[in-house]
Chains A and B, each alone.
Chain A
Amino acid sequence: MRVLTLDVNGDRLETAAPDHWTLLEVLRYKLGLTGSKQGCDKGDCGACTVLVDGKPVLACLTLAAEAVGSKVTTIEGLRPAHLEGGGTGVDPVQDAFDRCGALQCGFCQPGMMLTARALLNENPNPDRTEIQKALSGNLCRCTGYTQILEAVETAIAESTESEPPRPAWTQDHPHVREDAL
C-alpha cells in the first residue's frame, strides 16, 4: 500500500492503493470515477482509455503509481475542461456524439470521446482516414462505427464552421424526406 497523489481532471487527489493496482482500478474503485470502463482489462478494447498528459493511453495497463506526476483526464473531466476553456454546455465532441446517436450500448463511448478529443486537440481538422486511424484502438462491440465517425466530423464541422456530414443512413435512400433529417 502506498499513498498516491494524483492529478485527475485538474483536481489534486490523495488516495492509497497497493503497488499492483492499475490506474483504472484506482479511478473506479478508490476515486469513484466509473466513467472509464473496464472492458477486456488486457489492452485490446480501448474502453478504459484516459488521457495522460494529453495523450490517450490504456488505464488498465498503467499502474496507478506510474501516473503520479502526470495530468490524468477522464471522461468526467471533459466538460469541466471545456468550461474552463471559456466554452459553454458540454464539450463539442460530447455534444456531437449525443446528437449523432454515436452510441448503442455506450460502453466504448467514454474512450471514443477522449481519443477523439485528443485527436482534435492535436489536429483540429482531420480527414476521415485520420479519424479512423486515431480511433483504431477503440473497439465498438455494437459496431456502430459509422455514427461515431460522423459524430467526430460533426464536431469538426462546428469548430470549423463548415457543413456537417449528411448521415450515412440517408445516403442511397432517395425516399427519405428532407424534413426527416
Chain B
Amino acid sequence: MLRLPKFRLEEPTTVEGATALMAEHGEDAMVVAGGTDLWPNMKHGLFEPKVVVSLKRVEAMRGITVDEDGSLRIGATTTLAEMAQSAPVQASAPALAQAASLVAGPQLRTMGTAGGNVMLDTRCQWYNQTHFWRKSLGYCLKKDGTVCHVVAGGRKCVAAASNDTAPTLMSLGATLAFASADGIREVPVGELWKADGIWNKKAERSEILTEIRVPKQAAGHRGAYGKLRDRGSIDYPLFGCAVRMDLGEDGAVAGADLVCVALVARPLRIKRVEELLVGKTPGTEAFDSAVQEVADLAYAQAKPMDNIPGDAEYRRELVPVYVRRTLQAAARGEGPVHHV
C-alpha cells in the first residue's frame, strides 16, 4: 500500500486563482493536473508539498481550438486521450496525435494531460522507487543523496526526459504559454530545456503551463512518432523519436527535423538531419540511403545510458532501427512506429 503524504488541496476555477495560490504559497506549493506523474512520485516520497493546487476545475484550460491561421491551441489540461483522438490534431500534427496515443495505457491517457506530459518529471531507475528502496541504496543525486548511480563519480543528474509528446512538439516548433502572478510569458518548447536531470526546465516550479500552441505546418507536412517500449501499453519510452518531414510540391523533402527522447535530461535534436534529407524524394534509392545516413547520425549522437530500465546497449542498437522506420513511416504518411 502506498499512501500520499499529507497536504492541503486547493481547487481554483480560474487561471488567476491558480497563479495567486502559487504566488501565495511559493515553494510549499505544487500544481497538479491529471496526477498520473505527481501522485506516484509523491507516494514514493519524492515530493512533499504542503499545498497542492489542482487545475482540474479550471475550465478555461481545457480543450483544443483551431485558429484562423490554422494553428492549434491545446489547453494544458486537455487529456492525452482527447489530444490523440482530436481530428484537428490528427490532421495538422499527426506525430503529436500518434505520440499522445502511445503514452502509457488507456486509463492513464484518460487522466493524464497534454501539459502534464510536457512538464513530466525526469525519470531514472534509481529515482522512481519507494522511499524504502532509495534509502537502502543511500539515495542519489536527484533526491536526498550525493552520488549518481548511473555515472560513477557524476556530479550532474542524468535522469531522462521521458515525455513522448515533448520531442514531437519540438519538431513542430510549438510554443508554450506559462502563467504566473507576473503575467503570461511564451516560451518556444525547444528553448524550455536544460541539461539538468533534477529540474530540466527553464521555468519556475511556480509557473503554470496553460496552453500549447502548435503553428500551422507546411502544406506537404508529414510526421510520425516511434516508441521503443517493453510492453505494448503502460510503459514509459525506452527510446522515442519524433519526425517532421515537409514535402515540397515536387514530392521531394523540403524540410525535416528529428528529435529523440528517453536518453538524457533533455529531449535531443539530432543535428544535420535536414541537410541530409532535403532534396531527396521518398521512394527513391537516394532517399533510402539518406535515411540510413540519418540513422547512423542518430546512432552516433544518441547515447542511451543506464538511467532508465532496459539494457543501454540494446537501446542504443535500436536507435538507428527506430529512426529509420519512423522516417520511412513519416514519408509514407503513416505511423506510429512500435514493435509491441
- Chain A positions near chain B (C-beta within 8 angstroms): 18-22, 25, 38, 41-44, 46, 49, 55-58, 60-63, 65-66, 115, 133-134, 136-137, 139
Contacts and interface: CB of A to CB of B under 8 A. Distances in A.
A63 B35 contact: yes
Given A63-B54, A136-B232, 19 more contacts: A19-B6, A19-B7, A22-B4, A38-B1, A42-B39, A42-B40, A42-B44, A43-B39, A43-B104, A56-B106, A56-B107, A56-B110, A57-B111, A58-B108, A61-B36, A61-B39, A66-B56, A136-B106, A137-B107
A42 B2 contact: yes
Contacts of A137: 104-108, 233-234
A117 to B, nearest CB: 14
Given A18-B6, A20-B5, A44 B110 contact: no
Contacts of B44: 42
Nearest to B10: A19
A41 B43 contact: yes
A49 B5 CA distance: 22
Nearest to A55: B110
A134 B233 CA distance: 10
Interface string B280-323: 00000000000000000000000000000000000000000000
Given A42-B40, A43-B36, A56-B110, A19 B2 contact: no
B11 interface: yes
A46 B105 contact: yes
Contacts of B40: 42-43, 61
Given A57-B107, A57-B110, A61-B35, A41 B7 contact: no
Contact of B1 (A19, A41, A44, A63): A41
B62 to A, nearest CB: 14
Given A22-B4, A66-B56, A58 B9 contact: no
A164 B229 CA distance: 34
Contacts of A42: 2, 39-40, 43-44
Nearest to B111: A57
Given A41-B1, A42-B43, A43-B39, A66 B108 contact: no
Nearest to B7: A20
A121 B4 CA distance: 33
Given A43-B36, A115-B106, A19 B9 contact: yes
B136 to A, nearest CB: 18
Contacts of A38: 1
